[in-house]
Each structure stands twice: as structure tokens, then as C-alpha cells.
Amino acid sequence: MNATAPVVLAIDAMGGDHGLKTTVDAALLALAEFSTLQLILVGDERQILAALKKRKAAADALARIAVQHASEVVAMDEAPSKALRNKKDSSMRVAINLVRDGRAQAIVSAGNTGALMATAKFVLKTMPGIDRPAMISPIPSMNGHVHMLDLGANAECNADQLFQFAVMGSALLTATQGIAEPRVALLNIGEEEIKGNEVIKQCAQLLQTSKLNYVGFIEGDGVFLRDVDVVVCDGFTGNIALKTGEGVAKLIYHFIKQEFTRSPLTKLAALAAMPALKALGKRMDPRNYNGASFVGVNGIVIKSHGSADAPAFVAAIRAALREVENDVPTRIAHLLVDALPQSAAA
């Protein structure tokens, strides 16, 4: 990445399963990696300063850190509506405010997904023609990567909303990867037209008559094996698919370890196989894919996995930098005007 112009990111320092333990370490790692990066750590000022002091951060890094006090924290299991109503001084809310006010170009949070979504939508507002923002992330596939949305922000969706996800996903790929006509597929339980529930069937009709490069239904295995650019689904299905994939990867990793430690002979073989196994482990490591983007709001909001460790959280910071560099929300907003004529006009 060539980040020469200074970039300011807001970090929800209290969010996630591990809070400051992860975010402060990640902040220092990211500042070391990107020399023009500036971070605003949002949360309990006293705790943040203590955490920074304890880590004996370099003067150069400290000079690029600002602390913004916020007196509250959104709990990981808090109802989004309650967080939105009652916690106006939460680290999450204050960090998103910084984006709204132009003081930060993006916000990264490992906090409560539903609350992040509700707050981002409330503070930053959705783009014209979009009912609900969606969570999108690249996931590894046979031919590189596929982008999937929604990954868990919207548990229930109607056909119009799924269609909007398709438009946003397509626009994101055009904006960030220069793909003129991204191939869009709809996740379903079969590739035949008669399969699926009513919402899926209605959305398929909308896609077929749209300007998008719609390639039809895709099944769960196809997400990883077929060559498409965007896979569309509701947040319930997307979250289940994503986490199922993570679970299977961990299970296979466990099997590999078992098979290679079964006997002295296989242990010897493991030594010989170590470089290949290490390379494999790196490719399978979900931490490399951490950092989902909320598309559809007027601003860059990156959601880290709640259980992310510091290197994984840095991956989310990298994702934020990529979106800042590509000015993603502005470009998506432009593309939406063209792709969503009826809704945008409404």
C-alpha cells in the first residue's frame, strides 16, 4: 500500500471481546506499519493513557495518536436499540461522530455488530435508495477472492433489500477493484429456478431485469469453488455461511495436526512437510481476512471480528485504509444513482 497522504482513523478502543488489550496493541502495530497514519483512540481516556504508558510506545508513534474521551461502552450482548438510545457517549458512538464531523476518514470497531450497524445508520445516514447498510468482506475462493454480503448486519431481509445489497456489492467491486461488470450471484439451496424461498425467488426476478451482471443462483459450495465476484444473501445466512467456513477450516487444521502427530514416522514427515504446512496455515488463517465493510452509509465503517487479536485488528485497519484510498463511499454513491433508478428517484 502506498499511503503517502496522511490518513486519520477513529478506533473504537473499548469495543470487542478484549477491548483495550487488543486495540492498543493493534494501534501501535498499525502506526509502525504505516508512517502517514494517524489514529484517534476513542474510549476511557485514563485507561487508554495507562495502556499506552504500559506499552512504552515509541515517541514517533505516540505523536500520531490522539485520545478522545468517551465515558460509556456498548456491551457485546446489548440490544442495538438500547445502545442507540441510552449510550450516547459510548466509544462506538463518539468514534462514528468523528467520521460524521470530518475529523476522521473512517472508523474501525470490534464491538457489537448490531449496535455498530444501528449507530452508523443513525449518525451517518444511508445513501439515497438504500434501506439498510450491509456488511461485506472478501473471502478466499478457488480463484482468489469473492465478496459476500450481508454477513450478519440484517438478520431478515426482503427482496428489495437483497437487490440493494447486490447493487452495493457490485458498485464496491467496481470502485475498489476496477471490475467493470462484476459477476453477481444469489446464494440459494439449489441452482434450479424452482429452488429457494419466496424472498429469494422475488430477488432473482429483480436481478434478472436489472443492469447488473447477474449470473444466477449459487450454492454454499459454489461460493468457494465457482468464479464469481459478489455473492448476495441475507445477514442470517451470510453469518452462518461465514462462520461455518471458519469452523470447517479449524476442524481440518485440527485433523492435519492429529494425522501428523500420530506416530514417530508421521512426526518426521511433518518436519519435512513444515514449509508447505506453514504456507497452508497462513492461507487458511481467518485473521488475514478480518475487517468487514459496512456499505450503504455515508462514511467508511469497518467491523472487526469481536474476538480479533492485535494482528487481526491490524488487518481491519488495513481494510479501512484501502477504502479511504479509494474514496469508496463517494464512488458507490455515484454508481448507485445509475443502478437504482426507481428507488433513488423515490
- Interface residues with its own copies (CB under 8 A) are 76-79, 114, 140-142, 152, 155-156, 187, 189-190, 192-198, 219-225, 233, 235-237, 239-252, 254-256, 259-260, 262, 265-266, 268-270, 272-277, 279-280, 283-284
Closest distance to its own copies from the beta carbon of 115 (Å): 10
Closest distance to its own copies from the beta carbon of 339 (Å): 26
Closest distance to its own copies from the beta carbon of 49 (Å): 31
Closest distance to its own copies from the beta carbon of 248 (Å): 4
Closest distance to its own copies from the beta carbon of 164 (Å): 19
Q: Is 115 in contact with 92 (CB distance < 8 Å)?
A: yes
Taking CA 124 as the corner, what is the angle to CA 34 and CA 232, rounded to the nearest 5 degrees? 80
138 or 235: CB nearest its own copies: 235
137 or 174: CB nearest its own copies: 137
63 or 248: CB nearest its own copies: 248
6 or 190: CB nearest its own copies: 190
103 or 267: CB nearest its own copies: 267
29 or 277: CB nearest its own copies: 277
159 or 335: CB nearest its own copies: 159
Closest distance to its own copies from the beta carbon of 193 (Å): 8
Closest distance to its own copies from the beta carbon of 187 (Å): 7
Q: Is 61 in contact with 28 (CB distance < 8 Å)?
A: yes
